[in-house]
Amino acid sequence: MQTERYWPMVDEEKKSLMESIHQLCVAEIAPRAKHHDETGEFPTAIVSKLAEMGMMGMMVDEKWGGAGLDVATYAMAMEEVSAACASSGVIMSVNNSLVCWPISEYGNDAQKEKWLKPLAQGQKLGCFALSEPGHGSDPAGLQCRAVKVPGGYKINGSKNWITNGKEADTCILFATIDPALKHKGICAFVVDTKIKGYIVSKLEDKLGITASSTAALFFEDMFVPDECLLGKEGDGFKVAMSTLDGGRIGIAAQALGIARCALEASKQFATEREQFGAPISKLQAIQFHLADMTTRLQAARLLTWHAAVKKQAGVKYSQDAAMAKLSASESAMWIATKAIQVHGGYGYTKEYVVERNFRDAKITEIYEGTSEIQRLVIAAEELRKS
Ligand code: CAA
């Protein structure tokens, strides 16, 4: 855990909130992280604590049960939680960015009252179901079908890689009224996961973030009433893409937390471990590793905060979010790899946290858009400027 705490852009009141979040992470989340990683047990007690502190709906207006905080404070909180437990970080990120945000942005008042309030208060948990077995990076071609019937839609199809898929009470679900329409046929729905026809069909056995569930979902003649449609018919792709822009800031912040944990562990190890008659932190070879790790972490952090400030300002930030996620996730993987190198053989064992950091970092280069997709977004936005 980081000893020096630096939260710019926040006033005194928010600094004290950040201090409380940090204390919660040190005292209650970090000590349980190894257990959750080893057992894969969902961190129910941690999620309840996060909910108590208003961290499951951080950016949601207080009127709808949220904490009414800004995006940068959310990113800093995400980094804190993820430095302690990356599984808890992604559970929190999905609920905040991928579930509360689209309902806040595209939902009507009745939808906000019914769905958003309990999600933002942490009484309910959400998941975001876009990806399918044959459509991960290319969601415009998704096949899950919504057929209009009196009073609503009948939904059939399947989804893959759904974080929180096992525990979620509410699902933001994307389905098409006609696959031939490609992205223009996609609709977004807010769905109660307990309804008939909603089936959690498989849970993935994963390399990292083992305490967060990743599920395959299956929908069999599932009736969803008209009032569950988010936005208008055909708005779904825009809902998904704009939601993922914000989600990428959350995952960038998660990656920062994982990287920070690896760096802190490496610093501690390097000052305690002696070789050639002195702590290895005295060796320039180790100092160079630590210097590069620190620099890459801070560069990624500044990109993440910059994207958060732009989102908060209400200006287009798709490219900034993609740059933040690309930089933070690739830096996290790189820093975690270096951290194992600093630890030598010890770093390759489960006794040291850097082994978990290494496994947890990898997913940040994949979910909510792979690094290759982030590069596509960055290049497309850059070419648009010329
Ligand atoms: N915001 C709003 N609208 C957007 C947008 C954005 N960021 N990006 C594109 N659009 C709109 C475009 O303006 C266009 O609209 P019009 O037809 O009105 O002009 C429309 O969407 C189609 O745009 P594109 O032609 O650019 O779309 P594309 O099919 O070529 O896709 C892509 C672009 C960037 C590759 C996109 O498909 C993408 O981001 N893919 C990655 C998907 C992803 O991140 N999946 C992760 C799922 S969530 C997850 O990981 C699981 C979890 O639980 C954590």
Q: If you measure from the C-alpha of residue 240 to the centroid of ligand 1, how many angstroms do you get, rounded to a whole number?
A: 7
Closest CA to 22 of 68, 66, 81, 72: 81
Task: Map out the domains of the chain as residue ranges.
Answer: 2-120, 126-237, 244-385
Please provide the average confidence, as pLDDT, over all residues in the chain.
Answer: 96
Q: If you measure from the C-alpha of residue 314 to the centroid of ligand 1, how many angstroms do you get, rounded to a whole number?
A: 19
Which superfamily does 244-385 belong to?
Butyryl-CoA Dehydrogenase, subunit A, domain 3 (1.20.140.10)
pLDDT of residue 11: 80
Task: Please give the number of the atom of ligand 1 that sits closest to the Cα of 141.
Answer: 29
* 245 has a pLDDT exceeding 80: yes
Q: Which residues line ligand 1 (CB under 6 A)?
A: 94, 128, 130-131, 137-140, 161-163, 183, 237-238, 241-242, 244-245, 318, 367-369, 373, 376-377
pLDDT in tens, 159-169: 999 999 999 99
State the pLDDT confidence band at 386, using cuts at 50, 70 and 90.
confident
Q: If you measure from the C-alpha of residue 85 to the centroid of ligand 1, how many angstroms do you get, rounded to a whole number?
A: 29
Task: Please give the number of the atom of ligand 1 that sits closest to the Cα of 377.
Answer: 34
**Which residue's C-alpha comes closest to atom 43 of ligand 1?**
369
Report d(CA 364, CA 360) in Å as an integer.
Answer: 8
* 216 has a pLDDT exceeding 90: yes
CATH 3.40.1350.10 is right for the domain spanning 2-120: no
Alpha helices in the chain, H assignment, sequence order: 12-24, 30-39, 44-52, 71-84, 86-93, 101-106, 109-111, 117-120, 236-272, 284-313, 318-343, 353-364, 371-385
pLDDT of residue 4: 58
Distances in whole angstroms, Cα of residue 284 to Cα of each of 281, 288, 291: 8, 6, 10
Closest CA to 370 of 329, 318, 316, 320: 329
Which residues are designated catalytic? 368
Q: What percent of the chain stands above pLDDT 90?
A: 96
pLDDT of residue 1: 46
Closest CA to 121 of 169, 190, 188: 169
Three-class SS state of 38: helix
CATH 3.30.559.10 is right for the domain spanning 126-237: no
The whole-model pTM stands at 0.97
* 305 has a pLDDT exceeding 90: yes
pLDDT of residue 244: 98
pLDDT of residue 9: 67
**Residues 305-311: what's their mean pLDDT?**
97
* 3 has a pLDDT exceeding 80: no
From 91, 241, 371, 384, give the residue whose CB has the most ligand 1 atoms within 8 Å, as the site to mutate. Answer: 241
